[in-house]
Chains A and B, each alone.
Chain A
Amino acid sequence: MPTVSINSLDHEKFQDLVRRKRIVSVILSTLMLAIYFGFILVLAFRKDLLAVKVGEHLTLGVPVGLAVIISACVLTGVYVTWANSAYDDAVTRIVGNMKEK
């Protein structure tokens, strides 16, 4: 049975994979942090902005809050889409090579 050997790891491809994943993780995390803490900071320092009316009684805060929730789902979806395609393909190729040797 072919064993997976770390000696036959294609280091260059692996480093590339690691780098790309790190970049994606960091960018998406930063976006989520920015959105969420941006929201918190507005609440803390300029909550009047969220009290602005956008309808007869509806305030800006409600759609903004909803947008924060949706952004969490969207960012998560973006990650999964990328990971399930580009990332997993790369992993399969690298591990496949490791098995052959």
Chain B
Amino acid sequence: MNEFTSSIGQPNAVSIGFFLAFVLATLVITYYAAQRSKTASQFYAAGRSVTGLQNGIALAGDYMSAASFLGIAGLVSLKGYDGLIYSIGFLVGWPIIMFLIAEPLRNLGKYTFADVVAYRLKQKPIRIAASCGSLMTVAFYLIAQMVGSGSLVKLMFGLPYEAAVVVVGVIMIAYVLFGGMLATTWVQIIKAVLLLGGASIVVFMVLARFDYNPVNLFDAAVLKYGDKVLEPGGLVSNPWDALSLGIALMFGTAGLPHILMRFYTVPDAKAARKSVLYATGLISYFYILTFIIGFGAMVLVGQDVIIGFDKGGNMAAPLLAEVTGGIMFLGFIAAVAFATILAVVAGLTLAGATTFSHDLYANVFRTGRSTEENEVKMAKRATVALGILAIGLGIAFKGQNVAFMVGLAFAIAASANFPALLLSIMWKRFSTVGATASIAVGAVLAVGLIIISPTVWVDVLGNAQAIFPWKNPALISLPAAFAAGWLGSVLVPDEGAEARYENQRVRNYLGVGAE
């Protein structure tokens, strides 16, 4: 193959143009949404006016981060089949949400998943605990995204890292502050359509070179790099680590605050159900696309070139776009990647601000004495504070290897958030002490074990040998959280909570009294 010089790394008028168009369109939407983001129901939940289909697209958008698109395509391009293993892991949590979480969540809660955990338990301790789990998940995920945005923009456009982080931060604050959940929903929808559309076009153009038969593409990859690209490789060598990762991905999905919060934007449980169906379908399609994109990049761009731009392979998809569609297409895909980051961080910031104002401020500090108006005001202040914090942290962590933070976010979501949520919905004898213990144990173990694991203890802190052998703690922290929930409930029962269980069941299954 000839010497391939790419435009990646220089300011690209096309991509900046596309990106500005996206920002402009979304800011216009934010302006219109601002008129409809005054009440708590509007700011947190878009007035519950989002349809099942819209929410399904928004959920998929919220979930398909730049890390998935660039990262997984990159992983597939360098490692082949192993990338699919990650993709599958990211997908299978959604059926679990459908079968166990979506409808109860919508029926029992108002704006956050802490509403559900605290439904029949003592408000204050549960709110505090659930908020901690929620904020920790959001924080780590957000730092990883902000650092990713800075690196991505620097890599693609050669613009300074700090400037990129500030631009992303400021725009995201604008979306959330002025447009609340309504604006962020539409930002997600637009971005999801662009991402799926763009990726589909890339796949179409790749397959066109292989007689529209993916098997020909795979054959070409094997001829170029050997049998190993279609065989499972080193990603799941340690069976326990593999199980642990699988658990974190599957159940962590069902504990991500910014995902769970979207379920309150639809009018009822039936619409919530529909959302998950559409989201699952779209995300499945997405991961099939990234698999083909990865192989396309492997064959048409070449692993040397990909690694030359970024060791992690993150430039595989944009390079493929450039090879198949020239600089225009590269510009489009680059803009889409940037928009993707922007949309996800907006969703995370809104989730954090909501947790802060609804769970902590309204229900703990002001114990139901605050007015709705105050709560929304607080949410907006929290948005700005969180946004500034996110920018600061993004700059502070410049150059750090923060990839482990996404894994950590999932591990915390799987261990601290999910067990308590599930037990609260399904188990009559779940008590306040049980819930607090479950969240605490899950969070402490998830964070603690990751710190002494190879990803942090060795790779980040530079020690020789890790104390905890696996990269992912979920195999330990999730069961421990369930055990703590059981033990705490058995040792310190909560009779009031048990008595309220029947009412909860009526509301859960029939939707009677749902907000």
Q: Give the B-binding residues of A (Cβ under 8 A).
A: 4, 6, 9, 14, 17-18, 21, 24-25, 28-29, 32-33, 36-37, 39-41, 43-45, 47, 50-51, 55-59, 61-62, 65-66, 68-70, 72-73, 75-77, 79-80, 83-84, 88, 91, 94-95, 98
Contacts and interface: CB of A to CB of B under 8 A. Distances in A.
B242 A14 contact: no
Contact of A28 (B84, B99, B239, B276): B99
B154 interface: no
B243 interface: yes
Interface in B279-295: 280-281, 284, 287-288
5 contacts: A6-B506, A25-B99, A33-B250, A58-B218, A84-B273
Given A72-B94, A73-B284, 7 more contacts: A4-B512, A21-B509, A59-B227, A62-B84, A65-B84, A73-B280, A79-B273
Interface stretch (B3-11, B85-93, B155-163): B85-93
Q: Is the interface of A mostly helix, strand, loop or mixed?
A: helix
Interface string B196-227: 00000000000000000001001100110001
A66 B506 CA distance: 39
Contacts of A56: 219
A82 B81 CA distance: 35
A55 B281 CA distance: 28
A59 B81 contact: yes
A66 B88 CA distance: 9
A66 B227 CA distance: 19
A32 B230 contact: no
Contacts of B513: 4
Interface string B232-271: 1000111100110010001000000000000000000010
Contacts of A33: 250
A68 B230 contact: no
Contacts of A84: 270, 273
A28 B238 CA distance: 28
Nearest to B230: A59
Interface residues of B, number: 50
Interface string B119-162: 00000000000000000000000000000000000000000000
Contacts of B231: 47, 50-51, 59, 61
Q: 5 tightest CB-CB pairs across the interface, nearest first?
A: A44-B239, A57-B222, A51-B231, A47-B232, A59-B230
A76 B503 contact: no
A72 B506 contact: no
B510 A72 contact: no
Nearest to B88: A68
A69 B239 contact: no
Contact of B512 (A37, A72, A83, A98): A98
A50 B288 CA distance: 18
Interface string B66-99: 0000000000000001001101110110111011
A47 B236 contact: yes
Contacts of A75: 95
Given A75-B95, A80-B273, A57 B230 contact: yes
Given A28-B99, A47-B232, A69-B88, A57 B218 contact: yes
Contacts of B99: 24-25, 28-29, 32, 79
B34 to A, nearest CB: 35
Contact of B506 (A14, A24, A44, A76): A14
A57 B219 contact: yes
Contacts of A59: 81, 227, 230-231
B242 A44 contact: yes
A40 B243 contact: yes
B467 interface: no
Interface in B450-505: 503, 505
Given A40-B236, A76-B277, A69 B510 contact: no
B273 A83 contact: yes
B92 A61 contact: no
Nearest to A44: B239
A81 B85 CA distance: 28
Contacts of A21: 509
Given A37-B246, A47-B236, A32 B96 contact: yes
A76 B223 contact: no
B288 A69 contact: yes
Nearest to A66: B288
A28 B262 CA distance: 23
A3 B242 CA distance: 52
Contacts of A72: 91-92, 94-95, 280, 284
Given A14-B509, A28-B99, A40 B246 contact: yes
- Give the residue among B95, B227, B505 with the most A Cβ atoms within 10 A: B95
A48 to B, nearest CB: 9
A76 B98 contact: yes
B100 interface: yes
Contacts of B503: 6
B273 A91 contact: no
Contact of A69 (B246, B277, B287): B287
B509 A44 contact: no
A68 B86 CA distance: 12
B264 to A, nearest CB: 19
